[in-house]
Amino acid sequence: MILALISRFLKQQTSRRLATNAIRSAVGVSTSAQKRKGKMNMAKANLIIREELKERGVRHWELAHELGVSEQTLVRWLRFELSDDKQLDMLTKVEAIAKRKENAIND
């Protein structure tokens, strides 16, 4: 009797989990298992700026300081695609920071 109840409970939980995952997939919300397995195919916003920061060795806080905002504000801005003008401004500042750092190393 107890085994039958446990079995029925587990089936219900499994079907609920499957239904929840199906709904999440349809809506576009990922499950933690999908994230861990790397199955998410989300393009990050402002990828050009992120790559440029990484390639040139410029930290978020350095760019934020140059822009006159906090690091948290910069990170929030980077979550969503910025306008072309704002991206160009950031890329220009990243280049200026990288040149300054390079000149400091060479001196």
Nearest of 75, 1, 16, 14 to residue 44 by alpha carbon: 75
Share of the chain above pLDDT 90, in %: 53
Considering the domain architecture, whether residues 23 and 55 belong to the same structural domain is answered as no
Q: What is the mean pLDDT of residues 52-77?
A: 96
Q: What is the mean pLDDT of residues 75-92?
A: 94
Considering the domain architecture, whether residues 7 and 29 belong to the same structural domain is answered as yes
Question: Whose structure tokens read 């790559």?
Answer: 51
Q: Say if residue 72's pLDDT is above 70.
A: yes
23 pLDDT band, cuts 50/70/90, is low
51: how many CB neighbours lie within 10 A of its CB? 11
Q: Would you state the pLDDT for residue 15?
A: 62
Is residue 42 a part of any domain in this protein? Answer: no
- Tokens at residue 99, please? 């040149």
40 pLDDT band, cuts 50/70/90, is very low
Considering the domain architecture, whether residues 89 and 63 belong to the same structural domain is answered as yes
pTM for this predicted structure: 0.59
Q: What is the mean pLDDT of residues 59-82?
A: 96
Q: What is the dihedral of CA 38, 42, 43, 44, to 10 degrees?
A: -80
81: how many CB neighbours lie within 10 A of its CB? 13
Is residue 31 a part of any domain in this protein? Answer: yes
Q: Please check whether residue 85 is in contact with residue 49, taking contact to mean a CB–CB distance below 8 angstroms.
A: no
Q: Say if residue 104's pLDDT is above 70.
A: yes
Domain of 65, in residue numbers: 47-106
Question: Whose structure tokens read 């994230």?
Answer: 35
